[in-house]
Amino acid sequence: MAVLESAVLVVPARGRGDDRALLRPVGDALVFAFGDGAGGTANGSAAAEALVALVADRAEALAAGNEMAFVGLLEEADATSVAASGGQTTAVVGVAMPGRIVGASVGDSGAILFREPLVDLTSGQARKPLLGSGSAQPRGFAVEWNGEPLLVATDGLLRFAVGRVIGAELASPRDCDSAARRLTDLARLPSGALPDDVALVLLRDVKPR
């Protein structure tokens, strides 16, 4: 039986920031959602909050692992709750369960499976228009999963931390909470400040092999 270890971390560059994240256990599955609100305004954070609130409300149904259900949820959010926020956001939503990861995304946040070779689950996503524009084009993803580290993160981490350094950190024996904090530090400037908000979810199977 899978034994999933997880961590969720949101660190704003200043103030409350515009990134939001959700990690919700449902049985033996973990439903996750990310939003990186656009524009550095209250409306950007409101858009990201609307996204994670919608996923939280639908978590039980989404845990069934239907890829098209996640695509449909983002299409719905683009036309209703996120659009009503007056802002726009990136989105990565999905569920990790024993043997499988499925979800959907839009924008430039990412979901990366650290195996050999590395698998970018969001490589085919449409970067624009963003969720809340009314014309976003969410793309689904699905992959078999054997418990390798899954990192879902906004571009505040993925744009400023080198992929191979992230991989080396995830290969360390640290627990997920410690690894999440270390990953955030990889994106810091020499001054110690973050150039952008960082939000991440880290998942892996820690059962003995």
pLDDT score, position 190: 93
Contact 12, 195 (CB under 8 A): no
pLDDT digits (tens, 9 = 90+) for 159-193: 888 777 898 888 877 789 999 999 999 999 999 99
Token output for 67: 């890829």
Domain at 15-146: CATH code? 3.60.40.10
pLDDT score, position 207: 60
pLDDT digits (tens, 9 = 90+) for 113-153: 999 899 999 999 999 999 999 999 999 999 999 999 999 99
Contact 186, 163 (CB under 8 A): no
39 pLDDT band (50/70/90 cuts)?
Answer: confident
pLDDT score, position 209: 41
Rounded to whole angstroms, the Cα distance separating 50 from 20 reads 10
Residues in the chain: 209
Scanning the structure block, which residue is given the tokens 């690894």? 179
> How high is the mean pLDDT of the chain?
91
User: 32 - beta bridge partners?
Assistant: 23, 94
* Res 195 pLDDT > 60: yes
* Res 13 pLDDT > 70: yes
pLDDT score, position 208: 43
Helix axes 42-62, 67-79, angle to 10 degrees: 150
Burial 128-162 (b: 16+ CB within 10 A, else e): eebbbbeebbbbbbbeebebebbbbbbbbbbeebe
The type of residue at 70 is: F
* Res 65 pLDDT > 60: yes
- Of 1-5, 21-25, 118-122, give the lowest mean pLDDT range: 1-5
Q: What share of the chain is helix, strand, coil (3-state, %, to 5)?
A: 30, 30, 35
Sketch the domain layout of the chain as residue ranges: 15-146
Scanning the structure block, which residue is given the tokens 């899978």? 2
Give the three-class secondary structure for 67: helix
User: 120 - beta bridge partners?
Assistant: 112
pLDDT digits (tens, 9 = 90+) for 70-105: 999 999 999 999 999 999 999 999 999 989 999 999
pLDDT score, position 3: 67
Please name the residues in contact with 159: beta carbons below 8 A apart, sequence gap of 6 or more. 108, 196
Rounded to whole angstroms, the Cα distance separating 99 from 153 reads 21
